[in-house]
Amino acid sequence: MSMRDADHDRPERDPPDRAEGGGLVSRRALLAGGAAALGGAVLHTAADALSQIPGGAPSQVPDPTRQQGAFASRRGARAPSVELGRLGTGQVSRSPLQDLEGTITPADLHFERHHAGIPNIDPAAYRLMVHGMVERPTSFSLTDLKRFPQRTHLGFVECSGNGRAAYSGTSGEVTPQQVDGLLSTSEWVGVPLSILLEEVGADPAATWVLAEGSDAAVMTRSIPMEKAMTDAMVAYGQNGEPIRPAQGFPARLLLPGFEGNSQVKWLRRLEVGAGPWMTREETSKYTDPTTDETARMFTLVMDSKSIITFPSYPSVLPERGWWEIKGLAWSGKGAIERVEISVDGGRSWEEAELQEPVLPRCTTRFRHLWQWDGGEALLQSRATDESGDVQPSHAEFLRLRGPAARYHFHHVRGWRVAADGRVSYDARGV
């Protein structure tokens, strides 16, 4: 696989899981079954009661109230029946968006994008050098970094190549993980970059900062000083634990709302300067061709975007009736203000409910009750953020960005529900 292909290649195929109902029990079935159970025989235990609700009985498991359970342990594990996994190999893996609850991505399921693998770094020997247009060039150890005032940012990291394969035509039997799995959300903890720049006495005339990683790719990106001085941080914590090796252990640059590529992992050097460095990653890569043979550069901020995670492939709706459409919306420009849902192929739109917390530069859950009449439907979501940025239709995006677009795919996407309840991806919608 060439470097070019390695960057957000075609989505890997999942073995289709056609489990009827995708493991869901409808509200109506549950209520009807529950009522029957309550009206029937005397209830002995909760497990007995459960066994009388259709679909509610874990029949192959012995009654857990009759035996001592497992003992406490040093580290927990997921329930044996829960299969959560990233999808991908080599330099890319995707988060299982359709299988996650809420907005936080468990650290072991955070998507990965490495250009030269995960380096093995000794935290005791780790140093971050800050130099260039500064009064006091300084080398910080991890202990040094942790002595500075700490900040938290709850937010997403998204690769700007996310959605590429799906944009260029992959449709049908693809999951949200395959469509948009280069998106994950964590609670990041670290030291504000502004504090480090103050510490070294950065020249007020400086306008850019170069960030460099210590992997074999020696990833380098130029960061505007304005971002460096606002919410940028050198992060060393992720969801309560030290950042994992795949995410940049022991420290990475965290730029809330910026494209993933600029958030240099295994950060070893920051150089303060008076202009961008024009590195490989901001010239031949991560620029956006337009339709007039020019290209936009430094398109760092991620646009307003959303994806329906249920219903989606491979779930199958077992019956008509009330279903809750669920999904994620996010924007690098601020908080999500509104998510609209269309169930009729874009003819009409209704506002979905946003699930608290609704945070800036973070994923937000949305949900919308939908009564499926058993006919064909095209489900689409359209997010608007507080800056007013609205997701364009696929046709509009194509007109603006052209077929050669390689990054920042944030157009409206759709899921087609067939009369037999099967759901498939439709990149274009209507």
Contacting positions for Mo ion (CB under 5 A): 113, 159, 260-261
- Please give the backbone phi and psi of residue 34, each rounded to the nearest 5 degrees, phi first: -65, -40
CB of 77 to ligand MTE, least distance (A): 23
What tokens were used for 402?
């052209």
| CA–CA distance, 193 with 280 (Å, rounded to integer) | 24
Q: Are 339 and 351 in contact (CB under 8 A)?
A: yes
Looking at the Cβ atoms of 238 and 342, the one nearer to ligand MTE is 238
* Span 118-157, contacts to ligand MTE by CB under 6 A: 157
CB of 2 to ligand MTE, least distance (A): 16
* Span 173-202, contacts to ligand MTE by CB under 6 A: 184
Residue with the closest Cβ to Mo ion? Answer: 159
The most distant pair of C-alpha atoms in the chain lies apart, rounded to whole Å, by 81
Q: Is 263 in the site for ligand MTE (CB under 6 A)?
A: yes
Q: Are 280 and 297 in contact (CB under 8 A)?
A: no
* Span 197-226, contacts to ligand MTE by CB under 6 A: 213, 215, 217, 219
Residue 154 binding result from ligand MTE, Mo ion, none, given CB thresholds of 5 to 8 Å by partner type: none
Looking at the Cβ atoms of 50 and 104, the one nearer to ligand MTE is 104
DSSP codes, 137-178: -EEEEHHHHHHSPPEEEEEEEE-TTTTHHHHTT--BS--HHH
- Please give the backbone phi and psi of residue 350, each rounded to the nearest 5 degrees, phi first: -125, 150
CB of 142 to ligand MTE, least distance (A): 17
Q: Which stretch binds ligand MTE (CB under 6 A): 67-75, 262-270, 295-303, 362-370?
A: 262-270
Helix (H) or strand (E) holding 49: helix 46-51
Looking at the Cβ atoms of 5 and 241, the one nearer to Mo ion is 5
With CA atoms as reference, report the closest residue to 232 among 209, 256, 215, 258.
Answer: 256
Residue 217 binding result from Mo ion, ligand MTE, none, given CB thresholds of 5 to 8 Å by partner type: ligand MTE
CB of 159 to ligand MTE, least distance (A): 3
| CA–CA distance, 139 with 307 (Å, rounded to integer) | 42
| CA–CA distance, 325 with 300 (Å, rounded to integer) | 31
Beta-bridged to residue 395, according to DSSP, are none
Looking at the Cβ atoms of 210 and 341, the one nearer to ligand MTE is 210
Cis peptide before 256 (omega within 30 of 0): no
What tokens were used for 349?
């739109």
Q: Are 321 and 28 in contact (CB under 8 A)?
A: yes
How many residues contact ligand MTE, by CB under 6 A? 21
Looking at the Cβ atoms of 246 and 339, the one nearer to ligand MTE is 246
Residue 110 binding result from ligand MTE, Mo ion, none, given CB thresholds of 5 to 8 Å by partner type: ligand MTE
The site string for ligand MTE over 88-117 (x = CB under 6 A, - otherwise) reads ----------------------xxxxxx--
Residue 112 binding result from Mo ion, ligand MTE, none, given CB thresholds of 5 to 8 Å by partner type: ligand MTE
Q: Which of 53, 128, 159, 362 binds ligand MTE (CB under 6 A)?
A: 159
Cα separation values, 65 from 47, 48, 49, Å: 8, 11, 13
Q: Is 266 in the site for ligand MTE (CB under 6 A)?
A: yes
Collapsing DSSP to helix, strand or coil, 41 comes out as coil
Residues within the interface to ligand MTE (CB under 6 A):
110-115, 157, 159, 184, 213, 215, 217, 219, 246-247, 260-261, 263-266
